């Protein structure tokens, strides 16, 4: 069919040049009667989880987060944190703008020396956890000593934090040190058979059944012989 120049193609027809409407992007298999039309709808593809790079899912923190978590769990982290906070608070209380500050020793040296050693114990709990028992006990003693040397233990708050951190560090244990499994207990031997009691004891414990009472015997009845007389009463 020839279309005169300057006129539009009829609806559903083919424009000049032989290309269907919309260009060459039309898939012949999607039209009615095509292969995909006969096969039905395409199966749904499985959802692929979103990944935030080589570290895995978003929010994992990546390798840095894993290293931080491993470092924190391999030492008494919270014990060292509380001891360090208590020592810092006690040192700050020495510089408090108060009219009355307690100092002990020459130029108040003990008021600064005890919190500094307490701060060192808190840092050693982080960076040298192998000796955590010694550092924890020393931290508790130094925290109690600040009650006398450093403004009533940093206004009581620093001493409380130091004692709490020392107790946490002393009680901390490594997670990968699982206790060894206990061996299974050996099977118990069968109890020996009980000995048979003697005959006399069995008679005492289990008396024999009483004998039944004798039943009265029925009286014999005599039948009269033929030719004999029976006395009548």
pTM of this prediction?
0.50
Task: Identify the CA nearest to 174 among candidates 218, 130, 221.
Answer: 130
Q: Which two tokens stand for residue 41?
A: 């709808």
DSSP three-state, residue 124: helix
Show the tokens assigned to 220: 């014999």
Angle at 211 (CA atoms; ends 210, 214), nearest 5 degrees: 140
Helices 157-171 and 77-94 meet at what angle, rounded to 10?
160
Contact between residue 142 and residue 162 where contact means Cβ atoms under 8 Å apart:
yes
How far apart are alpha carbons 31 and 46 in whole angstroms?
26
Closest among 154, 148, 146, 149 to 96, alpha carbons compared: 154
The contacts of residue 61 (CB under 8 Å, 6+ apart) are 55, 68, 69
Alpha carbon distance 80, 125 (integer Å): 5
Q: What are the pLDDT tens digits along the chain (233 aa)?
A: 555 555 555 555 545 545 455 445 555 544 555 544 555 555 555 554 444 444 444 445 578 888 898 888 899 999 999 999 999 999 888 877 766 666 655 557 888 899 999 999 999 999 999 999 999 999 999 999 988 888 888 889 999 999 999 999 999 987 665 566 778 888 888 888 877 767 666 667 766 666 777 777 777 776 666 665 555 54
DSSP code, position 231: -
**CA-to-CA dists, residue 79 to 41, 76, 115, 157, angstroms:** 62, 5, 16, 16
Phi/psi region, residue 33 (left: phi>0; alpha: psi -120 to 50; beta: rest), is: left
């Amino acid at each position: 069919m020839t279309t005169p120049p300057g006129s539009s193609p009829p609806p559903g027809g083919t424009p000049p040049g032989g290309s269907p409407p919309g260009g060459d992007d039309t898939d012949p298999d999607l039209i009615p009667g095509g292969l995909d039309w006969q096969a039905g709808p395409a199966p749904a593809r499985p959802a692929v989880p979103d990944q935030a790079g080589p570290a895995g899912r978003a929010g994992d923190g990546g390798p840095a987060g894993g290293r931080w978590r491993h470092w924190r769990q391999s030492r008494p982290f919270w014990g060292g944190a509380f001891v360090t906070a208590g020592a810092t608070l006690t040192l700050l209380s020495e510089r408090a703008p108060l009219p009355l500050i307690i100092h002990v020793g020459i130029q108040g040296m003990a008021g600064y020396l005890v919190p500094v050693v307490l701060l060192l114990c808190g840092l050693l709990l982080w960076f040298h956890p192998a000796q955590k028992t010694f550092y924890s006990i020393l931290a508790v003693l130094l925290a109690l000593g600040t009650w006398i040397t450093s403004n009533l233990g940093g206004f009581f708050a620093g001493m409380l934090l130091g004692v709490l951190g020392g107790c946490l560090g002393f009680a901390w244990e490594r997670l990968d040190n699982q206790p060894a499994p206990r061996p299974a207990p050996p099977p118990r031997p069968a109890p020996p058979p009980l000995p048979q009691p003697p005959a006399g004891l069995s008679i005492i414990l289990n008396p024999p059944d009483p004998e039944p009472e004798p039943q009265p015997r029925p009286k014999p009845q005599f039948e009269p012989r033929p030719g004999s007389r029976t006395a009548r009463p």
